[in-house]
Structure 1
Amino acid sequence: MLLENNLSTIWSSIIIDELVKSGVIDFYISPGMRNAPLVQSLLQRKEVNLYLGIDERGQSYRALGNAKATGRTSALLCTSGTALANYTPAIIEAKKSATPLIVLSADRPIELATSDANQTINQVHFYGNHILADNCLGAPTEEICPQVIRNTIDHLIFRSRYPIKGPVHLNIPLREPLDMTRTQVSSNYIEKSQAGFKRKFQTKYFPPTQGISPKAKEVIADIIEKNPKGLLVIGSLPCTLDREVIKEFASKLNWPVFLDISSSLKYSYSIQDNIIPTFDHSEVYEQMSKERPSTIIHLGGRTTSKHYYRFLEEFSDINLITVNWSEEKEDPSQNTDYRMISEVDQFCSEMIPLISPSKSPIQINWKDFSDKKCKLIDDAPLSYPYISKKIIDSMGNNQALYIANSTVVRSFDNYLSLEAKKEIDIFTNRGVSGIEGLMASALGCAEAINKFTTLIVGDVSFLHDLNSLQNIKESKAPLCIVVVNNSGGGIFTLLPIAKDKELLPYLTTPHSLTFENAAKLFDIDYKLITSTQEFDFEFNHAQKNRETIILEVTVDNEQNIELYNKLKTVKL
């Protein structure tokens, strides 16, 4: 519907209409006056999902979580000034994790923005190289025909999806009136504007057909045939990829597999499936060094394990093939021999007919080793390893798990089930591994994916994102939040730098807070958990009830360190 009251409402109507026609249906609105015509236009559309939030940073991560879950471009809408600056951390994460977003920043017209008027900064090209494309057509004028507005939108949305997914930015200077006050607009311009609403789209983009060249497939197939002593590594993958074809490729290849937690495939297997449990344990690292593969095929993005990259650096003679649809170098070990620019599922699909099943000579029985680790974890007090193990063992199929960074993600990355297999959608913010915005991200994911979602987050990350509790309370999507409170950034106490007692507090930011009053402030159900028995009961209860709740799990950091030290001593 065209709001033809004035030029600001006309342009806003056109922008929103073309966004919807381009498949953008999720809009995250932050408060302000300058963006009022855009909001007014959204209110005329029944097919869109509108999410209102006070805190721009929380809204941006909420949109990020939605886009990670759906693969669609989510839209952020804000007023002028510092509002769009608050989106920056999420924009950086979106760029690094190839997540499509579009920022719609309302702005003052140039005569105000360059005259130190209130609430103005230079918003043009604001995000620099942290976005894939941006545009600003200036303030609404009849000199710019409506189809220019529309094809500008079409191009920006195309760039958010191709060749690499990521964030884009449209800056929209709007002159007053910003309400429905009528001003003089020529009938000719109104007719041209109305004409676009009758079209299905202004400009339809068809990206080139993606495929692997015959020569590249021949080279990789030949390497696979001549190197039966191989290892398949699966790093970070979007949940929108076809996981079944990736599993089919792994099955036919029949090499041992190392699965990163962010692949969403780790718990589709058990230790009995010739899966490498971790590279972050000295016994596993030593055994893999003895049985080192001649070739590694690495599917997807970066792994959580830094010791995997140490392995590649130490054994630089290994033939390393990496596969991912990314413009990034993605070579932390500096040893990649062949780089395949392809979506991982497409690569697997095209390679399956070209490879023959083999019997890998790398056959290591990890069961006793894993049994010993599991027994230590089960017999220990509350700890990160206990929490991650019990969550995976207790979760049902077809749920979503959002895993925070730091100790949390490493704890899950190091656990592999002895027997159980389950399909769980796993989400992380591993683009730049920031600790902010995790609750907002998990909420955006839960609202989009229509699956019960559990977030595991540390206490410092929880404190970073307290504002998002308001959105969580008001949302219809249930979210189970497990916040592990060990009174600060405990990951640093597990590192050699922990020996520097004078420096350590400046790294860990110790605190004595608990979060019961935060839950009360936002009227969210809350349970304090201080023992393994309480955790087992409360987590299982939360999974059964499927309602929003905060489970605060207090972990004694010294006991946590003691368990980690014991786990390091486990032998094969």
Structure 2
Amino acid sequence: MSTCSFNRRWAAVILEALTRHGVRHVCIAPGSRSTPLTLAAVQNGGFVCHTHFDERGLGHLALGIAKASAEPVAVIVTSGTAVANLYPSLIEAGLTGEKLIMLTADRPPELIDCGANQAIRQQGIFGSHPTGVLNLPRPTRDISAHWLVSVIDTLLSNQENGPVQINCPFAEPLYGEMDDSDLTWQESLGSWLTSEKPWLAYGRVRTSVQQRDWFFWRQKKGVIVAGRMSAEQGKQLAAWAAMLGWPLISDVLSQTGQPLPCADLWLANPDATRELDNAQLVIQFGSSLTGKRLLQWQAACNPDEYWIISPLDDRLDPAQHRGRRLVADIGAWLEQHPAENHPCWAPRLRELSQQALACATQATARFGEAQLAQRIASLLPDQGQLFVGNSLVVRLVDALCQLPAGYPVYSNRGASGIDGLISTAAGVQRARPRPTLAVVGDLSALYDMNSLALLRHTPAPFVLIVVNNNGGQIFSMLPTPVEERERYYCMPQDVEFAPAAQMFGLGYSCPDNWESLAQTVAEAWQRPRATLIELRVDEHTGARTLQQLLAQVSQL
């Protein structure tokens, strides 16, 4: 009886079980030990398979697919350090709730801790970050196929949010033709093999609970804070807030249309904080807040109660307010708690926000990253989507611009790292094949440059803007030691990205004024390929512009 053949049957059952839990996309890195899993995925007609040679980028590719599709995504890697390279994407998914299923091939137990090649201790490698871990035994005919599908169903039925790991040891031989020696083991699953349901179906249903005193609270003065949510939820929340007459302070990822734009500027004004101090209830929807002034106000505010509504289970409140933590789908919660029509109780905030937006528009007349952030809405393609990088880029967009309501915006604002941004954006487009604009900094692009390979063949136009301010200029806004700042914090690399675009066969442009940039982007939307646009800008102007605007708006 062939070990190779049984490995393949064991893996085929694992992959088939994943289809019963909504997995449609599988991301695969090259490797020998993972051969049974790879071949099982490729031969299963229910999957769209994606490949990448860099496991760190592969994990983020899967993360992007999961973000945009709102479905679980499987990842297959071989044993050894290939597994460790999934750690950053797994951590991010744990904080933002995407369902990743990490299928990590492993050496069998007898090859661990004995000097065998590419054999490391993989059990528990991700610590407390997965929401569930399943350490499978080496494939053996002594364990029924019923057990295998049951334990997978149990793991995935408990995966409400975040990643899980299934560690899969395989003994050699790994290669060879399938035979019929173990067909009865697989066929013992009977009609399940051609059905669409899990072997073991769990009956857990989470429904949000209506707050019985909502009719009382909606008469009060309230403030709404909008974090990360879907485009539909963002539009729904904006209409709900407008009906109540409550100020809506929106993060760049809220997709609400930011009715009070430039919040990170006007929150620096004492009039704004005095007005907001009158709030009796603050309701925060979603998490991953970006703006520094918003986070400072959120930490300092002291309403009668502070509510947080999010489908994630974590507390999501670093300031530990007194109130309610309501785990619920945002859209469903809004439907359960109808708004009542009231006039706006804080008109000064609307005045301040419009003044701040006017100041931002005037202050960004000079070509550079601040101007890009302020005018980015004019570059967005129709029926497209936006991916915003981390560090200074996302802060400038959050503080200076107003995005259209319901326009899809994605980012990695869980751990807020600069690793895997290009690959995550590529994943977003693979799940939603729309024109995609992605904006990242130069160090972020260097960190994930391998993933430019994922942009060689795109399903729709893709524009990657790399803001090259020669280093991590976010540190210019922090009280880092001046003498050590450049060498140990900003780390300028003095690089150009034209050779990178050429190496991966991407279109390239380096405009030096707004008109040229706008024309280049408009032309790129007409081509079914990826275009890398490098903006070489002054190192300090972006950070200084934001600091100057904060000082100006605080005095309005």
TM category (shorter chain) comes to over 0.9
Q: Does 1:531 align with 2:530?
A: no
Q: Percent of aligned positions with the same letter in both sequences?
A: 26
1:23 aligns with 2:22: yes
Cα shift readout 1:3-62 (whole Å, capped 9, x = no counterpart): 997210110111111112322110100011111122222222233111111000010000
Structure 1 match to 2:236? 245
Check 1:282–1:264 CA distance in 2 against 1; reply closer, same or farther (3 A cut).
closer
Q: Deviations over 1:63-117 (max 9, x none)?
A: 0000000111101001111111000000000001111000111111111124331
5 Å matches for 1:52-63? 52-63=51-62
SS in 2 for 1:135: strand
Q: In structure 2, do the counterparts of structure 1 residues 219 and 199 end up closer, same or farther at CA, with 3 Å as the change threshold? A: same
User: Which residue number corresponds to residue 205 of structure 2?
Assistant: 208
Say whether residues 1:563 and 2:545 are aligned partners: yes
Distance 1:476 1:510 in 2: 34
Unaligned runs of 5+ in 1: none
Give the one of 469, 473, 479 matched to 2:456.
473
Deviation, 1:307, is 1.9
- The reply to whether residue 326 of structure 1 matches residue 286 of structure 2 is no
Within a 5 Å distance, the mapping from 1:125-136 to structure 2 comes to 125-136=124-135
AA at the equivalent of 1:449? R
Inter-partner Cα distance in structure 1 for 2:421 and 2:152: 29
Letter in 1 for 2:387: Y
**Residue 336 of structure 1, CA deviation:** 3.8
Deviation at 1:178, TM superposition (A): 1.2
Match of 1:306 among 289, 292, 303: 292
Could you tell me how far apart the structure 1 residues matched to 2:468 and 2:548 are?
Answer: 21
- Determine the structure 1 residue equivalent to 2:50: 51
- The 8 Å contact of residues 360 and 400 in structure 2, kept in 1 or not, is answered as no
Match of 2:524 in 1: 542
Equivalent in the alignment of 1:233: 225
Query: 2 CA distance for matches of 1:429 and 1:136?
Result: 29
- Further displaced range: 431-440 or 20-29: 20-29
Which residue of structure 2 aligns with residue 389 of structure 1?
374
Q: Of 175, 180, 192, which aligns to 1:179? A: 175
SS in 1 for 2:67: helix
Equivalent position of 1:100 in the other structure: 99
Instruction: Report the AA paired with residue 234 of structure 1.
Output: A
* In structure 2, distance between residues paired with 1:389 and 1:494: 18
Aligned equivalent of 1:220: 214
CA 1:56–1:317: 2 relative to 1, 3 Å:
same
Cα displacement (A) at 1:368: 3.5
Output the CA distance in 1 between the equivalents of 2:15 and 2:298.
49
AA partner of residue 119 (structure 1):
Q
Describe the SS at the equivalent of 1:455.
Answer: strand
Equivalents in 1 of 2:467, 2:7: separation in Å? Answer: 48
Q: Distance in 1 between matches of 2:268 and 2:129?
A: 40
* CA spacing shift, 1:561–1:409, aligned 2, 3 Å: closer
TM-superposed deviation, 1:230: 2.0
For residues 405 and 182 of structure 1, the distance between their equivalents in structure 2, rounded to whole angstroms, comes to 47
Q: Distance in 2 between matches of 1:247 and 1:422?
A: 8
* Structure 1 counterpart of 2:273: 288
1:210, 1:522 → 2: CA distance?
47
The answer on whether the counterparts of 2:389 and 2:418 sit within 8 Å (CA) in structure 1 is yes
Q: Does 1:342 align with 2:324?
A: no
| Alignment match of 1:262 (pick from 250, 253, 267) | 253
Match of 2:314, SS?
coil
CA apart distance, 1:504: 4.0
**What is the CA–CA distance in structure 2 between the aligned matches of 1:4 and 1:422, rounded to whole Å?**
56
Shift of 1:285: 4.9
The one-letter code sitting in structure 2 at the alignment partner of 1:346 is A
- Residue 430 of structure 1 corresponds to which residue in structure 2? 413
After superposition, residues 393-432 of structure 1 pair within 5 angstroms as 393-417=378-402, 421-432=404-415
Kept in 1, the 8 Å contact 2:373–2:400? The answer is: yes
Letter in 1 for 2:306: L
2:212 partner SS:
helix
Separation of aligned partners in 2, 1:466 and 1:113: 33
Rounded to whole Å, the distance in 1 between the matches of 2:222 and 2:496 is: 48
RMSD, aligned CA: 2.3
For 1:189 and 1:119, the matched residues in 2 are separated by 30
Alignment deviations for residues 340-368 of structure 1 (CA, whole Å, 9 cap, x no partner):
2222112111001xx42111320122334
Q: Does structure 1 conserve the Cα–Cα contact (< 8 Å) formed by 2:508 and 2:533? A: yes
Q: How many residues align?
A: 548
TM-score (normalised: structure 1)? 0.90
1:84-163 matches, cutoff 5 A = 84-160=83-159, 162=160
Aligned to 2:361: 374
Match runs of 1:5-16 below 5 Å:
6-16=5-15
The 3-state SS of whatever aligns with 1:279 is: helix
Task: Report deviation, 1:314.
Answer: 3.4
Q: CA deviation at 1:243?
A: 4.1
Counterpart AA for 1:27: V
Q: Please report how far the alpha carbon of residue 282 of structure 1 lies from its aligned counterpart in structure 2 after TM superposition.
A: 5.9
Q: Distance in 1 between matches of 2:235 and 2:255?
A: 11
Q: Secondary structure at the match of 1:424?
A: coil
Letter in 2 for 1:310: Q
AA of the residue aligned to 1:204: A
Does structure 1 conserve the Cα–Cα contact (< 8 Å) formed by 2:102 and 2:165? yes
Deviation of 1:288 (Å): 3.1
Residues in 1 aligned to 2:426 and 2:79: alpha-carbon distance in whole angstroms: 26
1:444 equivalent to 2:413? Answer no
What secondary structure, in the 3-state scheme, does the structure 1 residue paired with 2:249 have? strand
Look up the equivalent residue of 1:484 and give its one-letter code. V
Judge conservation of contact 1:4–1:10 (CA < 8 Å) in 2. no
Offset at residue 386 of structure 1 (A): 0.6
Distance 1:556 1:15, change over 3 A: same
Tell me how far 1:318 sits from its aligned partner.
5.3
In structure 2, stretches of 5+ residues that fail to align are none
2:164 equivalent in structure 1: 168
Which whole-Å deviations, capped at 9, do the CAs of 1:411-469 have from their partners, x for residues lacking one?
1111344xx84531000101100001000000000010121111100000000001001
| Cα pair 1:309 1:333 within 8 Å, conserved | no
Q: Is the 8 A contact 1:312 1:318 kept in 2?
A: no
Displacement of 1:192 in angstroms is 1.5
Distance 2:304 2:229 in 1: 23
Give, in angstroms, the shift of residue 317 of structure 1: 4.4
Number of the residue aligned with 1:506: 488
C-alpha contact (below 8 Å) 2:442/2:471 kept by paired residues? yes
Q: Contact conserved, 1:310 with 1:333, CA < 8 A, in 2?
A: no
SS of 2:85's partner is: helix
Alpha-carbon distance change, 422 to 538 in structure 1, aligned in 2, over 3 angstroms: farther
Q: Which residue of 1 aligns with 2:340?
A: 356
